[in-house]
Structure 1
Amino acid sequence: MKWIVFLASFCLMLVQIVSGRALAPYVGVSVYVWTGVIGTTLLGIVFGYAAGGVLADRRGDAKTLGTSLALAGLAALAANYVVIILGERMGTGSMPLVARVVVMSFGAFFPVAFFLSTVTPQAVKRLLSDLSKTGETVGTLSAWSAVGNILGTFAGGYVLVSALGTKGVLTAVSVLLLALGVWVARGEKLWRTKAAAVAGIFLLGAVIVPGSCRLETNYFCIRVLNSQNDAGESTHILRLDHLVHSYVNPSNPLDLGYEYEQVYANLLASRYATSSAFTAYFIGGGGYVLPRYIESTYPQATNIVAEIDPGVTEANHRFMGLSRETKILTANEDARMHLARGGDRPYDLVFGDAFNDFSVPYHLTTVEFHRLLKSRMSPDGVYALNIIDDARYGQFLASMIRTLREVWTYVYVAPQAHAILPGRNTIVLLASDEPIDQDAWYSTISPAAVAKDLSEEARRSAVNLVDPTEIDQLLDRVRTPVLTDDYVPTDRYLAPVFSDAY
């Protein structure tokens, strides 16, 4: 009984770890998604414990326990299909995000949690032969259950998700539970039932049907889609979970897919000739769009990319035309950890591109992080980063401006428009101890702007720096604090933007 309880608890936590990753390609990864997943799992546990107690008192035999385990295996197997069906139907629908997350979590993972949670009450009843040892029996099984939960959490988070992928983990869990159920109720020959035939069909489908991810890691479901730009050139679209992260044109590095990248290109052109030598540091790699651009346009420059997910780097090499002989240097670790170790030459330019949709790595937003970053930069270095916010709220934007001003003398805002406009927008912030030469900034025409054939009006709009009075008006209207390691409420600041967008 102890091992049965242990394995059931191990599988329960393994499924919970996997569930958030399974939903990510359709609804992303955020506090809202994990709240829905955890809440749904707990609900399944509540009802499962109650139902398990009733089953233990009314039946309490090996067939009932084995059937519960087998049904949990079937539910884990079915979760593969439910996620895909509901994800395709609801992933981009009009239903509010929270409602989508709850419905998808309930449909895919509530049954698994429910059936697995019926196991422990039944095991207690079957193991309890002496009422004087009730406490010892319940305590022992609870301890085994807790150990299973702990090991399932560690195994899922650190090993199995990256090794097998979410579909592989759910399939492996289902096979284990089905086999365990058949063994527990071995005298009942469960493998001869209609449910066994259904399980066989589902297992065959799970093996044959390909997963939705090109690569799956501990961080992302990575998908690479092939497309064409307006000129008919082949391009790649990098999707990390549900978000289109990068548009990559491997044959033409001057083709920058996002408008905010024109701000970065303008920053480069306003400071350096194409023959200049400088060091650029990237917080986040994505599709390596700007590092490729610098490698092509500024061959004497040094590119260093801190990309936490080795899978993203590998996807660039395998699927998006980034040569393994590239001069771009990659450190596959968290940027803050990499900066803390030091060792590189001072960075002349730093580009922040690690904020994935509304999933903000808060430790890269604080004043402590920015002080560390500045200590690794040259005295006249510039830090450029893009964030997402809505001017109607502007809480994250205001806090980031205040935080950057605590560290650098000058902070500029480039909204790729004539002003900071309402609506969900990508906004570039530039921070330095040296002022930007406005004449050089607006008179410069970057190679990327030339390649894009932007009109003068479009180019100036794309690189426009808003007037300082507009920034001050925003800060007067939105009273948010400097972000620190002790207080970083980025999820709350972005909640209304998140709600409107989804």
Structure 2
Amino acid sequence: MPDIDRERAWLLTVDGAPQSYVDLDQPEHLEFEYTRRLGHVLDVVAEPGRALDVLHLGGGAFTLPRYVAATRPGSRQDVVEFDRGLLELVAEHLPLPAGARIAPHPADARDWLAKARADSADVLVADVFGGSRVPAHLTSVAYAEQAARVLRGDGVYLANLADAAPFDFLRSQLATLATRFAELVLIAEPGVLRGRRFGNAVLAAAHRPLDVTALARRTAADAFPARVEHGPGLRRFMGTARPVRDADAVPSPEPPEGAFGIGIG
């Protein structure tokens, strides 16, 4: 069950696992490593301050929607969260900023995508975990097709995933997204990419080149430095991985005990 620990600066936990960190007075503050990396991408997808239409799959405590509302005022955001109880808890204890154009929707992420209007989002952020694993139905080519349909031509897809060496899941997700997007970027902590530990990785996909230079500069200077992989290096990392079809889709791997000190989704 979800719970909020007020003694630890608004830390949301689900079944005892830390999920989201929210500072109601400073929504620009992103505590967890993976949210900071998602935030870095959101900062460079368009000129600073430009309002965006953003679709979030997975709500948590609405950390990223609050961040977008603070850094890009006027943005229109939809947040799809399967756990209705979590939505109610957040609404009661962590109210959204007045005037923020953030609409919560209790629904399954893929069902929502299938019904969403085409070319309706500038950014799609996928941060969906069933417990500690990405659900299988959000890992396939058919899912990627729906995501690409909902995004505008210059839109950007972002996903928070988790894996460890030999990175079978992460490589398969890159191959899957490559069936629908021309540009791919991977952001992760160097120790994770070297296979030293299980951890989060942020994937960005688009039909247009992303500002990799600006992104690499931001991630390298972060309090939790990360590496940005793209182009030939990322294709080498992907190797011979094959796209995932619905019939073959499986959830992301179960993290080892103690893998996440803070935050998985």
TMscore range, shorter length: 0.7 to 0.9
Q: 2:2 aligns with which of 211, 219, 222?
A: 222
1:315-367, CA deviations, whole angstroms, 9 ceiling, x for partnerless residues? 11212243586421111111211121124761111111102453221111110
Q: Equivalent residue for 1:247?
A: 21
Residue 485 of structure 1 corresponds to: 246
Seen in structure 2, the aligned counterparts of structure 1 residues 262 and 472 have a Cα distance that, compared at 3 Å, is same
CA contact (8 A) 1:260 1:462 kept: no
Does the 8 Å contact 1:223/1:239 carry over to 2? yes
Displacement of 1:416 in angstroms is 3.4
Return the match for 2:59 from 256, 269, 285: 285
| 2:232 counterpart of 1:459 | no
Provide the rounded CA distance (Å) in 2 between the counterparts of 1:324 and 1:277: 17
Instruction: Call closer, same or farther: CA 1:483–1:380 in 2, change over 3 Å.
Output: same
Distance 2:91 2:75 in 1: 21
Query: Aligned partners of 1:313 and 1:500: how far apart in 2?
Result: 27
Q: Residue 370 of structure 1 corresponds to which residue in structure 2? A: 144
Name 2:235's counterpart in structure 1: 472
Q: 1:327 aligns with which of 79, 101, 104?
A: 101
Look up the match of 2:31.
257
CA contact (8 A) 2:48 2:72 kept: yes
Correspondence for 1:410 among 183, 208, 211: 183
One-letter code of the match for 2:5?
L
Q: Structure 2 length normalisation: TM-score?
A: 0.87
**What secondary structure, in the 3-state scheme, does the structure 2 residue paired with 1:351 have?**
strand
Q: Which amino acid aligns with 1:474?
A: F
Tell me: CA distance 1:272–1:257, structure 2 relative to 1, closer, same or farther (3 Å): same
Question: 1:399 corresponds to which residue?
Answer: 172
Q: Verify the 8 A CA contact 1:442 1:460 in the aligned structure 2.
A: no
| Map of 2:114 onto structure 1 | 340
Which whole-Å deviations, capped at 9, do the CAs of 1:444-497 have from their partners, x for residues lacking one?
A: x6xxxxxxxxxx853297453125444333333xx5431111111336xx25x5
- Between Structure 1 and Structure 2, the one with more strand by share is 2
Question: Which residue of structure 2 aligns with residue 361 of structure 1?
Answer: 135
Q: Note the residue ranges of structure 1 that are not aligned, 5 or more in a row.
A: 1-220, 229-234, 446-455
Report SS of the residue matched to 1:384: strand
* 8 A contact 2:75–2:101 mirrored in 1: no
SS state at 2:157 partner: strand
What is the alpha-carbon distance in structure 2 between the residues aligned to residue 272 and residue 480 of structure 1? 31
Q: Residue deviations 1:176-220, cap 9 Å, x none?
A: xxxxxxxxxxxxxxxxxxxxxxxxxxxxxxxxxxxxxxxxxxxxx
**2:99, 2:160 → 1: CA distance?**
29
The CA distance in 2 between the partners of 1:388 and 1:419, in whole Å, is 10
- Name which of 205, 211, 217 aligns with 1:437: 211
Q: Aligned equivalents of 1:344 and 1:469: distance in 2?
A: 31
- The whole-number CA distance in structure 1 between the counterparts of 2:128 and 2:120 is 20
Q: What residue number does 2:86 align with?
A: 312
Q: Which has the higher helix share?
A: 1
The verdict on how the C-alpha distance between 1:292 and 1:378 changes in structure 2, with shifts beyond 3 A counting, is same
- Paired residues, number: 259
SS in 1 for 2:236: helix
Residue matched to 2:43 = 269
Amino acid of the residue matched to residue 397 of structure 1?
L
User: 1:416/1:302 Cα in 2 relative to 1: closer, same or farther (>3 Å)?
Assistant: farther
Instruction: Verify the 8 A CA contact 2:171 2:237 in the aligned structure 1.
Output: yes
User: Aligned letter for 1:484?
Assistant: R
CA gap of 1:417–1:360, structure 2 versus 1, over 3 A, is: same
In the superposition, the TM-score normalised over structure 1's length comes to 0.48
Conservation of the 8 A alpha-carbon contact between 2:124 and 2:157:
yes
Structure 1 CA distance, aligned partners of 2:187 and 2:7? 29
Distance across 1 between alignment mates of 2:258 and 2:214: 38
Within 2, Cα distance between the matches of 1:473 and 1:461?
A: 25
* Shift in alpha-carbon separation, 1:345–1:415, aligned structure 2, 3 A: same
**For 2:56 and 2:17, how far apart are their aligned partners in 1?**
20
- Contact 1:224–1:237 at 8 Å: present in 2 too? yes
Q: Give the 3-state SS of the residue equivalent to 1:411 in structure 2.
A: strand
Residue by residue over 1:249-288, the C-alpha shift from the partner in whole angstroms, topping out at 9 and shown as x without a partner, is 1111011121122222222222334431220110000010
Match of 1:15 in 2: none
Work out whether residues 215 and 228 of structure 2, in 8 Å CA contact, stay in contact via their aligned partners in 1: no
Amino acid in the other structure paired with 1:483: V
Equivalents in 2 of 1:253, 1:371: separation in Å?
32
- Kept in 1, the 8 Å contact 2:45–2:211? The answer is no
Partner of 2:162: 388
Q: CA RMSD in A?
A: 2.6
